Amino acid sequence: MALPPGPRAPSIVTSVRFLHRPLDRLREWQAQYGDAFTIRFTGFGPGVYVSDPRAIRELFTGDQSDLLAGKANSFLIPVLGPNSVLVLDGPRHLRQRKLLLPPFQGGHVAEFRRIIREAAEREVDSWRAGDELVLRSRMRSLTFDVICRAVFGVTEPARVERLREALCAVIDASTAVLLVKGMQRDLGPWSPGGRLLRRKRVADALLYEEIARRRNEPDLDERTDVLSLLLRARDEDGAPLTDEELRDELTTMLAAGHETTATALAFTFDLLLRRPDAYARVKEAVAAGDDAYLDAVAKESLRLRPVIDAAERTLTKPRTVAGWDLPAGTYVFPAIALIHHRPDLYPEPDTFRPERFLDGAESYAWLPFGGGIRRCIGAALAQAELVEVLRTVVARAELAPRRATEDPVVMRGITLAPKHGVPVTVRRVAPRVTAASERAPVMST
């Protein structure tokens, strides 16, 4: 069985070129080799990128039992733990997923929006005219706050800070250790593997403490944060999630949900601040309370700047994908970044045009959150964050990009990210407008 053609340079050359400018490279390879091509990255087996919408739809619908995704993520176990939905496959994956999905659906999203708006207001409160900000790091702090409050249900500032310090320390220590296998070994507190292990123990202890505290909270049955809902959830056999499972899923939701969303926000502002027409329309939409345009901006940013370039599936059986008979064991990458850039699906694909999403149509051509039985669990939360943060920032602040041109897109770990984090200057910032219902009552004398 032959694999589709692809670049023939040594894998180290291909990897370096990809890490430097991932979007440009993927587009170059698609132009050269078509809708299916094979890439060999250093340290990985050959992987087939697929950008044909029909082929992707086949991978994301129907029986997906011969497609694994957790196995390829097993390198994340030192950070996420062995029970994380991200590293599981088969029945155990489905069980965890069924338990995790309901807290992110339906009426819960309205409560998320309230928490996000509060976090965004607090963030803008801390800005002053003349400040120079790196948006990705400001947004990272904001999206951490959102996960802490909406997912963990922790609101007391001192506890939020404790968790921020411990969990960000784990994530910051992890990138190189995870990507280079030999580095995972514990060779003492100063070795990369040893440092990660020690930081992870500290973070785990805090998470267990929060889980135990929540279990004993008298209002557990009324609470709507994700952890409380998960503590009350039962699987088909009536069994709850164990403390180890809860710890791993909390870490997973933080790891999968805070930097990704912060990056998407930074990209959105980088695109919008350079397009006065679209920006003016966002301002009008905010003033008019018209959410359709804000939703469309979020979708268009995720189309043009997807944070994850491709989903990943490993074939457990031979399978025909995009007309190629691929052997068992092949990695297949449904190429999110490429399907988003097809001129037959998105005319003038390089143009930032939110209007294309105004009819609300979503299809197999818009896949920033992947698809099928692995589709992102936090998609609704992430989209709500994009809209609510945009609304709050545009209503109160005027930002100006500090770079003359858009931030180049590079790889950071396993995500696409703006190379410089989108540096901006705060030109103007208005005080918070408090709704009449939230104002303190006027005391009469």
Q: State the residues that interact with ligand HEM by CB under 6 A.
A: 69, 85-86, 97, 147, 151, 252-253, 256-257, 260-261, 264, 307-308, 311, 368-371, 374-378, 381-382
The Cα 136–Cα 301 span in angstroms is 15
- Cβ proximity to ligand HEM: between 97 and 274 the closer is 97
Question: Does residue 124 contact residue 392 with C-beta atoms inside 8 Å?
Answer: yes
Please report how close the Cβ of residue 357 comes to ligand HEM at its closest, in angstroms. 15
Task: Name the minimum Å distance from CB 91 to ligand HEM.
Answer: 13
Q: Which amino acid is at 176?
A: A
Cα 222 from chain centroid?
28
CB of 311 to ligand HEM, least distance (A): 4
Query: How far apart are CB 288 and ligand HEM at their closest, in Å?
Result: 26
**Strand, helix or coil for residue 412:** strand
**Positive/negative CA dihedral, 402, 405, 406, 408:** negative
Residues 306, 26: Cα–Cα separation, whole Å: 13
Q: Which is nearer to ligand HEM, 192 or 371 (CB)?
A: 371
Angle at 72 between CA 66 and CA 75, to 5 degrees: 155
The DSSP string of 96-142 is HHHHHSGGGSTTHHHHHHHHHHHHHHHHHHT--TT-EEEHHHHHHHH
Q: Which contiguous run of DSSP H or E holds residue 38?
A: strand 36-40
Task: Count CB-CB contacts under 10 A for residue 390.
Answer: 23
Give 56 or 197: the residue with its C-beta nearer to ligand HEM. 56
Nearer to ligand HEM, 260 or 314 (CB): 260
C-beta of 203 vs 307, nearer to ligand HEM: 307
Compute the half-sphere exposure of residue 268: CA atoms within 13 Å on the CB side of its CA: 29
Residue closer to ligand HEM, measured from CB, 72 or 202: 72
Considering the complex, what minimum distance in angstroms separates the CB of residue 231 from ligand HEM? 17
Identify which of residues 177 and 264 has a Cβ nearer to ligand HEM in the complex: 264
Which residues lie below 8 Å from residue 289, measured CB to CB, with a gap of 6+? Answer: none
Instruction: State the minimum distance, in angstroms, from the CB of residue 90 to ligand HEM.
Output: 12
DSSP state letters, 341-400? T-TTTSSSTTS--GGGGTT----TT--TT--GGG--TTHHHHHHHHHHHHHHHHHHEEEE
Closest approach of Cβ 404 to ligand HEM, in Å? 27
CB of 196 to ligand HEM, least distance (A): 21
- Least CB distance to ligand HEM at residue 52 (A): 16
Closer residue to ligand HEM, CB minimum distance, 204 or 248: 248
DSSP state at residue 426: E
Nearer to ligand HEM, 7 or 295 (CB): 295
* Residues sharing a CB contact under 8 Å with residue 5, sequence separation 6 or more, in sequence order: 33, 37, 38
Q: Side chain identity at 407, as an amino acid letter?
A: D
